[in-house]
Each structure stands twice: as structure tokens, then as C-alpha cells.
């Protein structure tokens, strides 16, 4: 039952990733259309940081990070668990994948928050 629930979540995050990644591409790569600026200005560091300071962007990035990490790491775990492992080694794999995922999520959230709170010239 637990494995079925985890697999279902693995499949359910696919449309979430598609929507969030689509929003990311739309805002970042079509900024001249949405913000009415030139392409050169849209690629400017200050403009990029200003877009990153939006609360909507912060939420979008953290959700995209969580969905992408879960989908990718659950898939990696599944590949590794198909190897002939002892139950103890399987548990070590599970704990390692969870620990690595939490570390990367914490680091990614920190970087996203740093960008959100970044002050230009200060």
C-alpha cells in the first residue's frame, strides 16, 4: 500500500512539473512580452534579480524544486532498489535518498530565499 501511494505521487507530480516549468519558461524567457521591456533589459542582472524577488516567483521555484526533487529521486530510488539488495541495504538506500533530497531541498530553498531577499548595491 505504501509503495502504491509513493508511486501515485511520483506520477501526480508530472503535470505539476509541466505547469510550473511552463510558467517559469513563460516568465523568464518571454519577459519582454509580459513586462514590456527590451530583450537586453530582460537579460540584465538587476532585472533578473527584481523578477526573482516576486513572492509568486519564490513560491513557484520552491514548488518546482520540491516536485522535481521528489520525481527525480523517487525514480532514482526505484532504479537502485531493482538491484538485488538485502533488506538492510535497501533501507540504507531509502534513508540516503531521503537525506540527500532534504539536503538539496534545504540548499535550493536557501538559494531561492537569498535571491528573493537580495539587495542590489547593498
Query: Are the C-beta atoms of 49 and 122 separated by less than 8 Å?
Result: no
Query: Are the C-beta atoms of 33 and 40 separated by less than 8 Å?
Result: no
Helices (H), 30-54: 31-35, 39-42, 45-52
Q: What is the mean pLDDT of each run of 10 residues along the chain (122 residues)?
A: 89 95 82 73 77 83 95 95 94 96 96 77 54
Query: Are the C-beta atoms of 9 and 70 separated by less than 8 Å?
Result: yes
Q: Which helix (H) or strand (E) holds 100?
A: helix 87-117
Instruction: Write down the pLDDT at residue 119.
Output: 63
Give pTM, 2 decimals.
0.83
What dotted CATH number matches 2-117? 1.20.1300.10
Amino acid at each position: 500500500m505504501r509503495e502504491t501511494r509513493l508511486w501515485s505521487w511520483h506520477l501526480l507530480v508530472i503535470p505539476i512539473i509541466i505547469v510550473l516549468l511552463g510558467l517559469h519558461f513563460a516568465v523568464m524567457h518571454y519577459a519582454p512580452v509580459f513586462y514590456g521591456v527590451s530583450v537586453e533589459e530582460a537579460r540584465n542582472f538587476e532585472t533578473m534579480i527584481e523578477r526573482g524577488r516576486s513572492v509568486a516567483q519564490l513560491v513557484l521555484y520552491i514548488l518546482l524544486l520540491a516536485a522535481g526533487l521528489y520525481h527525480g529521486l523517487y525514480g532514482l530510488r526505484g532504479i537502485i532498489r531493482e538491484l538485488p539488495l538485502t533488506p538492510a541495504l535497501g533501507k540504507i538506500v531509502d534513508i540516503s535518498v531521503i537525506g540527500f533530497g532534504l539536503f538539496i531541498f534545504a540548499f535550493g530553498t536557501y538559494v531561492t530565499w537569498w535571491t528573493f531577499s537580495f539587495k542590489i548595491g547593498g
